[in-house]
Structure 1
Amino acid sequence: MGSACAVTSTANAINASFDPALPHDFARDIAPVAGLARIPLVLVVNNDLPVTSVADFIAYAKANPGKMSIASSGIGTSLHLSGELFKSLAGVQFTHVPHRGSAPGLTDVMSGQIHGMFDNVTSSFELVRAGKLRALGVTTRERSEILPDVPSIADTLAGYETSSFYGVGAPHDTPREIVDLLNREIAAALSDAEIKSRIAGLGAVPLHGNANAFGCMLTAETERWRKVVELSGIKKE
C-alpha cells in the first residue's frame, strides 16, 4: 500500500481544473475515505459601507462600477472564486485584491482599505459578532447556525452556492476494507459530543456518510468548482 492518509479540501477540488499542470489526477489518484466538515463562507463588508443587505451591495456595486474592492486569501482560493461567481451571477464588477491569507484581508476590510470579502465563517464570525464587520449573506443555501440572523445569498441571488470542505483521502490502491475501517473510526470520532461541540463552535457543519458518499461529494465539488473556474476565466500562471 502507498503512503498514509491525508486531508483533502476545497483546494484539491479547485486545483483539479485551476492548475492542469499538476503531476497527479485528483479524482483518479485518491481513494475517498470520509468527510470531516463543510464550512459556509460569508460576505462581510466594512461598517462604513452604506449597505445592509446583499441586494444593497449589488445595487451599490452597479452604481459604482469598477470602484469596489474585494479581498481574498489568494488567487484560486474558494474565497476568491466565491467572489468571481458572485460577480458573474449578479452582473457586477469589483477589483479582486489577493492577500497572503484570510487575516490580512479581514484587517484591510475593517480598516476601510478594502470594501468587502468572502471569508470562511470560522475565521470571521467573531469579528461580525463583535461589530467589527457587517455580514450581508452566507454562501450556503442554509443559514449558518453560528450566524443565524444572516440570510443566504441565494435568497437574493438565485443559484448562488459555495462552501469550503475538509475530508480524508487515501492512496488510490488502498484496500477497501482499510478504507471502510477508517471511515467507521472517523464517523465515531465525529459523533463524540465534545468534538461535535467544537466543530459547531467554529461554525462548521460535520459531514457524515460512508466512503462512497464522500466520493460522490468530491466528484460534485470538483465539477462545481470547475464551472466556476471556467466562468472566471482565470488560469494558473
Structure 2
Amino acid sequence: MDGFASQAVADLAAWQRLGPLLTDYLPFPAGSLRPTAIVALLDEVLIGDRSVVVQCGSGSSSILLARLLSRRGFGRLLALEHDERAAAFVTSQLRRERLSEVARVVHTPLAAHPAAVGGLSWYEPSVVFEMVTSFVDRNGLVDLLLVDGPPIADGVPETDLSRYPALPVLRGALSPGATVLVGDDADPQSGRAVLDRWSREFGLRFHRDRTAGLAVAVVRI
C-alpha cells in the first residue's frame, strides 16, 4: 500500500473514531487539520489530562475540541485566528452549541511583530498579550499548545518561519511538561526550519507523527 492509500485508510479510521463528536455538520476546507491529526490532538487531551489549551489557528478542530472538553466536564480553549470570517464562523457555532464558556476564538489580525523574523507577520502583539494573559490568569498555565497557524504557503520558502513567534511569545505561559503540537502542511519540509530553530533555542526535541501530520514535543523544566 502506497503512502497516499495508507493515509486515506488512516483518515477513514479517524473519522470513525470522531463519530461521537460529529453531532452537527462541520466544514473542513483545504488547510484544515486532517482527521488523524484531530484524533491525535483529542487523545493528547484525554491521555495527557490536558485542560488549558491554546491554539494558533482555528476551525472545525476547535469546535470538536470544545465538544470533548464540555463532555468531559472540565478544560478551556483559547484560539487565535487571523481570518475574520473563520473566527466569526467558529464563534457563532460555539455560541449556538452553548460552548462559549468552554472555548473562545479571538480574531487576531496578522501584523508586524517584534518576535517575527525576516519581515514576516504574526498575530497582533497587543491582542495576543491581553488575551493570553487574561486566559492564564483565569485558568492557569497552558498545558497544551497547538500551532497550526498562521498558514505557511506551500512552495514559498520565505514563509517557512511564519510560525516562529509562537514559542518566543508563549513559552512563558507554558507549564512544565506541556505538550507542543505543530501541524505539518502539505509539504512537511516547509515546517522544518521553525522546528529546527525552536529545538536549538528552547531545547525541545520534536518527533514527527507522520500519520497524523504533526510534530510533537514536551516542554521540560
Query: Which has the larger Rg?
Result: 1
RCO comparison, higher one (Cα < 8 Å, 6+): 1
TM-score norm. by structure 1 comes to 0.28
TM-score norm. by structure 2 comes to 0.29
